[in-house]
Chain A
């Protein structure tokens, strides 16, 4: 299985600050169609996960442009600019390029 390694495991942030989360995969996530199926999700406390970004850098509908995703091959980054209180929770990266789909262990974003 493809191992997804997220760092850091947790982040303390002040409202208005910017943060970055890293996700590294054990194999390239480029599929045979040339696309890279790396996604980012947020699970707020007590809620189900919500996808924020798909295929590395595409924002899902309704996701503010304070969120951005970059990367390629095996190395990816989620950046959140001007963090707001509603951004707090656990962020997961996920790959759906290789069977079986796998997720990172999560990065908990907390208030400083």
Chain B
């Protein structure tokens, strides 16, 4: 059974950093590109970043480019999202998803950016 379990969320002040993790199981992690998608409270879904199978290619939405870094550790079957210079508008539930086409999603982790 495919499982994606996010962790690392919480309350953080504007300008500070947070690192999210997504532990994958039930499939060969290194065979799949992965993505982060977020959902602000009561809002819709917004793609944040994607990474290729080996980690050599990464893609970001404009609003997070230069502040967020997506990475992966295939030996640990884990996806990461390093979030720096956080802003109030980054407040959201962050989901990791398998493949660009998001065939499986994690349960999500809440990130609140507030002073």
Q: Which residues of A contact B (CB under 8 A)?
A: 37, 39, 41, 48-51, 54, 60, 92, 94, 96, 99-106
Contacts and interface: CB of A to CB of B under 8 A. Distances in A.
A48 B105 contact: yes
Given A99-B59, A100-B59, A100-B61, A51 B45 contact: no
B81 to A, nearest CB: 16
Contact of A101 (B47, B105, B108): B47
Given A51-B101, A100-B61, A106-B45, 7 more contacts: A48-B107, A50-B105, A54-B103, A92-B44, A94-B45, A101-B47, A101-B100
B29 interface: no
Contact of A104 (B35, B44, B59, B108): B44
6 contacts: A48-B106, A48-B108, A49-B45, A49-B105, A92-B44, A96-B100
A102 B101 contact: no
Nearest to A54: B101
Interface centre among B45, B100, B106, B107 (most CB of A within 10 A): B45
B73 interface: no
A48 B101 contact: no
B95 A103 contact: no
A41 B33 CA distance: 19
B52 to A, nearest CB: 13
